[in-house]
Amino acid sequence: MGNCLFSRRGRYATTQQKKLVDGESCATIASVVAAATAPTEAASASASAASAVQMRALYDFEKQADDDLSFKKDDILDLVDNSSGEFWWLMRNQRTGDSGYVPCNYIQPYDGGPASLTAWFDVDRREAERCLLMPGVPHGSFILRPCGQRSESGAFSLSVRTDEDLEAQQQQQQKVLVRHYIVRPTDEGGFYISPNRRFSSLIELLEHYQQQQDGMCCQLGLPCPREYVPPPQLRDFELNRQLLSFVEKLGQGSFGEVWKARLGRLLEVAVKSMKEATMNKADFLSEAEKMHKLHHPKIVQLVGVCTREEPFYIVTEFMPNGALTAYLRRDNEQGRRVTFGHMIDMLFQVADGMCYLEQKRFIHRDLRAANILVGLNNTVKVGDFGLSRCIEEEAYCFKEGTKFPIRWTAPEAAKSKAFTHKSDVWSFGILAYEVVTRGGLPYPEYSNCDILRLVCGGYRMANPSCPAGGVPCDQFLYESVMLACWRLEPAARPTFAALRNLLENYFVEKQPQYEH
């Protein structure tokens, strides 16, 4: 069974690697490399240490530039040089013998440690549940991941998909389909889930529960498959437009068309074509360059731009289910499979992405469901930064004549044209209304001309509990999120960090040895 836990190329390379699996610390990619390439007394020793660092490919990759390195999933790559930055390293492919640059988000350490396991995902509890609840993931699939409890030093978490209680689930009773266990270390360097059953290594523990249930929710099957392939963080901001092949027109925006396309043979992308004379090239490049520096799982990744000739293209990762507004409205027409729990999770993901933007001093200015994009299994990401600017000041003022969405705009921003993080928070409250009403229009009974006057006078939308097509919206969400975001005084509104924490812990399942 061991070959399903590690790469197909084998379990261990050295005794030192085995020690890491037997209980020493799980290192990140950066710390693995830092430890192995630390300065030594002799240059030859340093070079030898660097060459000893190995990585395993998580996905296929086709090179986009002459000095990139193509590889296949599970290829073993030797580190040659990591001085080019945190996103791209020079490596040699053991299978082909070729050398070149590889994107760091496509590889994981191959040092014998926990992160070398095929079952290892560097995700939190919620993301593990999304991966395991993807359609087609079989009963018994599992993920080994970092432990979210600070008090559990040296521990890991094991998340397991179990299809128990399917009959109850079909009757719409709330049943958990993913169970979480803490894998704790022993003083002797081993691991255990139950104190009565201890193992000398993680490999031994996982193989044991693959062979028998022994008190677990089910017998372990295979590690969870990696369905989502992230966009590589390309080194070259300016892309070769000849590498783009257009597949399907997705829509028409105010600035141009939106297409599904392929970059090379492997990478699906979305391409926005910008109409001539709709944007100053310098402004366009400045905007896109700032977006290119944003890297977060809940932010739509900018892959690059094409500006050598018109029309300009802006190339982003492809989100197959489109805008959240349309997604929720389709769901309303097709059986309402998106539950209130799913909606809370979507709002958590948006708050997570906005918390990152807040930390990076970005103001979105157009936060609404139409600008949230949906991937697989209700994964959502913050997108469409057409109005965003990286700011040095606390507020950004619109130029005279710039249009903005009044139904989503905070009253102080609508009056002064000055936008802040707290005006984004107001918009988040409106977005929450959209989500629980399955894409409903905010202030449906009022025209755009009336909204600002009403809001400034103290009017707030009522709790949208059980509207046509919506879901029961509990009073806690209405008061703690919506009304809190709609406080007239910006300083009284919560931060995105506070909203993220509230939504993350909205539902807490109580399970034996359950961790969050």
User: Quick check: 454 pLDDT over 80?
Assistant: yes
Please say whether the beta carbons of 322 and 250 come within 8 A: yes
The answer to whether 272 is annotated as binding is yes
Are the C-beta atoms of 91 and 34 separated by less than 8 Å? no
The predicted model gives 130-134 an average pLDDT of: 88
Is the pLDDT reported for residue 133 higher than 90? no
Tell how strand 198-199 and strand 107-109 pair up.
unpaired
- pLDDT at residue number 434: 97
Return the pLDDT at 288.
Answer: 78
Return mean pLDDT, the chain.
82
> Is there a contact between 33 and 79 (Cβ–Cβ < 8 Å)?
yes
Q: Which pLDDT band, with edges at 50, 70 and 90, does 24 fall under?
A: very low
User: Once rounded to an integer, what is the mean pLDDT over residues 256-263?
Assistant: 91
- Residue 505's pLDDT band (cuts 50, 70, 90): confident
Q: Is the pLDDT of residue 20 over 90?
A: no
Give a yes or no: residue 246 inside a domain. yes
The residue annotated as part of the active site, out of 345, 352, 366, 424, is 366
Query: Which is higher by pLDDT, 469 or 307?
Result: 307
Residue 65 in 3-state DSSP?
Answer: coil
Say which residue, 305 or 394, is predicted with more confidence. 305
The whole-angstrom separation of Cα 440 and Cα 370 is 11
Long-range contacts of 303-306 (CB under 8 A, 24+ apart): 303/231, 303/232, 303/234, 303/239, 303/263, 303/267, 303/269, 304/234, 304/236, 304/237, 304/238, 304/239, 305/237, 305/238, 305/239, 306/238, 306/239, 306/240, 306/241, 306/244
Instruction: Identify the domain boundary among 193, 211, 229.
Output: 211
| 363/411 same-domain check | yes
The predicted pLDDT at position 278 comes to 61
450 catalytic residue (yes or no): no
Q: How confident is the model at residue 410 (pLDDT cuts 50, 70, 90)?
A: very high
Where is mean pLDDT largest: 31-35, 38-42, 390-394? 31-35
Q: Are 506 and 380 part of one and the same domain?
A: yes
Helices 340-359 and 125-132: angle between axes, nearest 10 degrees = 130
The whole-number average pLDDT for the span 365-393 is 79
| Domain stops at, among 293, 317, 341 | 317
SS (H, E, C) 108-147: EECCCCHHHCCCECCCCHHHHHHHHCCCCCCCCCEEEEEC
Name the pLDDT band for 165 (thresholds 50, 70, 90). Answer: low
Instruction: Indicate if 173 and 301 belong to the same structural domain.
Output: no
Q: Is residue 171 a part of any domain in this protein?
A: yes
Give the CATH number for residue 475: 1.10.510.10
In this structure, are 291 and 330 located in the same domain? no
Q: How confident is the model at residue 154 (pLDDT cuts 50, 70, 90)?
A: confident
Residue 45 CB burial class (10 angstroms; 0-12, 13-18, ≥19): exposed
Residue 55, pLDDT > 90, answer yes
Within-domain flag for 505: yes
**Residue 330, domain member (yes or no):** yes
Domain count, the chain: 3
463 pLDDT more than 90: yes
Per-residue confidence band for 231, with pLDDT thresholds at 50, 70 and 90:
confident
Q: SS3 letters for 274-330?
A: ECCCCCCHHHHHHHHHHHHCCCCCCECCEEEEECCCCCEEEEEECCCCCEHHHHHHH
Same domain, 367 and 504: yes
Q: How far apart are CA 1 and CA 34, in angstroms?
A: 32
139 and 252 housed in the same domain: no
Residue 506, pLDDT score: 84
Single pTM value for the model: 0.76
Q: Are residues 373 and 299 in the same domain?
A: no
pLDDT recorded at residue 2: 42
**Residue 297 and residue 446 in one domain:** no
* Nearest to 367, CA basis, from 435, 310, 320, 307: 435
**306 within domain boundaries:** yes
Residue 56 lies in a domain: no
For residue 386, pLDDT beyond 50: yes
Q: Provide the strand spans (E) within 123-256.
A: 142-146, 156-161, 178-185, 191-192, 198-199, 244-252
pLDDT at 43: 44
State the Cα–Cα distance between residues 167 and 164, nearest whole angstrom.
Answer: 8
Residue 45, pLDDT > 60, answer: no
d(CA 436, CA 427) in angstroms, rounded, equals 15
What CATH number has the domain bearing residue 172? Answer: 3.30.505.10
**262-271, 358-367, 480-489, range with greatest mean pLDDT:** 480-489
d(CA 343, CA 339): 6
CATH number at residue 262: 3.30.200.20
Do 338 and 298 lie in one domain? The reply is no
Q: According to the model, what pLDDT value does residue 113 have?
A: 84
| 401 pLDDT above the threshold of 90 | no
* Joined tokens for residue 230: 């992230």
Please report which confidence band the pLDDT of residue 439 belongs to, taking 50, 70 and 90 as the band edges: very high
258 strand-pairing partners: 251, 272
Residues 450 and 483 grouped into a single domain: yes
* CA dist., res. 185 & res. 132, Å (int): 25
- Residue 120 — very low, low, confident or very high, per pLDDT cuts 50/70/90? very high
Structural domain boundaries, residue 439 = 322-387+404-510
Q: What is the pLDDT of residue 31?
A: 52
With respect to residue 421, please indicate whether it lies within any of the assigned structural domains.
Answer: yes
| pLDDT tens figures, 82-117 | 887 778 899 999 999 999 999 998 999 988 788 889
Q: Are residues 348 and 490 in the same domain?
A: yes
Task: Label residue 175 by pLDDT band (50, 70, 90).
Answer: low
Task: Assess whether pLDDT exceeds 60 at residue 445.
Answer: yes
Would you say 237 and 302 are in contact if contact means Cβ atoms under 8 Å apart?
Answer: no
**Confidence at residue 433, expressed as pLDDT on a 0 to 100 scale:** 96
Are residues 439 and 506 located together in one domain of the fold?
yes
Lowest-pLDDT range of 131-140, 225-234, 437-446 = 225-234
Quick check: 197 pLDDT over 90? yes
pLDDT band at 12 (very low <50, low <70, confident <90, very high): very low
pLDDT higher than 90, residue 156 = yes
* Greater pLDDT, 44 or 302: 302
Domain final position from 262, 283, 317: 317
**3-state DSSP assignment of residue 3:** helix
- Which residues contact residue 453 at a Cβ distance below 8 angstroms, ignoring those fewer than 6 apart? none
In this structure, is residue 253 part of a structural domain? yes
515 has pLDDT over 50 = no
